[in-house]
Structure 1
């Protein structure tokens, strides 16, 4: 579990992350201001995606020509900004956020980034919001990023499929956080990840894989699924 990750290994992964980022991620005063505002408002930016992960999401959206994105859980809007930047002028990120303070910070940060026209925040329980959504025949979601409570991952995934276009992508974050994912780890979030894996095993509507990662955020992983 998390105790198996030594300070030495975490330091190594963090230094490696920072080194590669120094070549591939340009300095960004806007994102720096977003991070600072998030922390100043008392929101735990430490659990947001890392710069490398943010750019990874950005590159996926560019590679699939995404126009509409659904985000389940946004914290301070850091990931939403990375994704909104990848969309065309008429693109949209719909982000679902339970916490009202977080939603206020998202709005502030998105405004700082000049992306208010591209990001729509819906406040309240994410699963309820998803159930109330209907797939748009002419503009279904191209991409869904699930980064909310892990215990509900399967529920979010099922609704994400319903709202996604054929060939669209779903990424579920933190599938592997708290290493290992196998039954020896009894943490509730990890059991949520195992429940999702059991569900997808017999799901004929998607093809999926899990990729484990190391970096500034420690040992983690994400599930990548494509709608068939």
Structure 2
């Protein structure tokens, strides 16, 4: 088995289970034209986020790491008409591309894009004393994942779903001596998930068009 087969299977799954979507295709094209890194979630992964948010009945979603808004669109589509997605993006160029993609998808009224370092944006958000979020997606710089988890818990309630992306990193996660800050941050993140008294968590390895990786899923305990 190899990357070529994984890509072919992902394409088959997407073609079979996910109807063609003009807005999603345009978002990916716009991201590529703007020179954004091609690190969006795959269509079947985006649909998984969407379905989990729907099963959760989420009305309030927090996303850390917007990029071009591809995953944001999937998540916002899971919201009711009175829901809200707050998404945090470091790069103003990425945020502008995301805003255009979200506007074309007809979701601007549901999505609040906040630009700047995520930890600073989270501090500002805390000052607003927001209502708890029902669903939180962590997909930004991996060295800060332990800090993002702390903030996620601060903004959560019993039953909140927290998903962290890219937690396997082609298997490098098992190397406790890795000098890669992304691996070290992810290991600390996973260890916090496993030991935190407020969380029940697991992680799943994945292969597909985005390579060999995985995601972690946690639920805040009552």
Partners of 1:80 and 1:57 lie apart in 2 by 10
**4+ aligned runs moved over 6 Å, structure 1:** 135-138
1:121 positional shift: 0.4
Could you tell me which runs of 5 or more consecutive residues in structure 2 were left unpaired when the two chains were aligned. Answer: none
Matches for 1:13-52 after TM superposition, within 5 Å? 13-44=6-37, 46-52=38-44
Matches for 1:185-196 after TM superposition, within 5 Å? 185-196=178-189
Q: Does 1:154 align with 2:146?
A: yes
Deviation digits for residues 104-141 of structure 1 (CA, Å, limit 9, x no counterpart): 11111111101110110000111121123239888410
1:216 positional shift: 0.6
- Kept in 1, the 8 Å contact 2:86–2:111? The answer is yes
Deviation digits for residues 55-112 of structure 1 (CA, Å, limit 9, x no counterpart): 0000001101001100000100000000101110111110000000011111111111
Partners of 2:167 and 2:41 lie apart in 1 by 13
Partners of 1:53 and 1:186 lie apart in 2 by 29
**Of the candidates 192, 204, 208, which is equivalent to residue 201 of structure 2?**
208
Partners of 2:26 and 2:130 lie apart in 1 by 36
**Of the candidates 200, 208, 213, which is equivalent to residue 220 of structure 1?**
213
- Kept in 2, the 8 Å contact 1:135–1:164? The answer is no
Q: Does 1:103 align with 2:95?
A: yes
Could you tell me which runs of 5 or more consecutive residues in structure 1 were left unpaired when the two chains were aligned. Answer: 1-7
- Kept in 1, the 8 Å contact 2:193–2:218? The answer is no
Other-structure match for 2:2 = 9
Q: Does 1:126 align with 2:104?
A: no
1:186 positional shift: 3.6
1:41 positional shift: 1.3
Q: 1:184/1:37 Cα in 2 relative to 1: closer, same or farther (>3 Å)?
A: same
Partners of 1:197 and 1:216 lie apart in 2 by 24
The two structures have a TM-score, normalised by structure 2, of 0.94
Partners of 1:184 and 1:137 lie apart in 2 by 40
Q: How many residues of Structure 1 are paired with residues of Structure 2 in the alignment?
A: 220
1:43 positional shift: 1.2
Other-structure match for 1:180 = 172
Secondary structure at 2:159 match in 1: strand
- Kept in 2, the 8 Å contact 1:76–1:105? The answer is yes
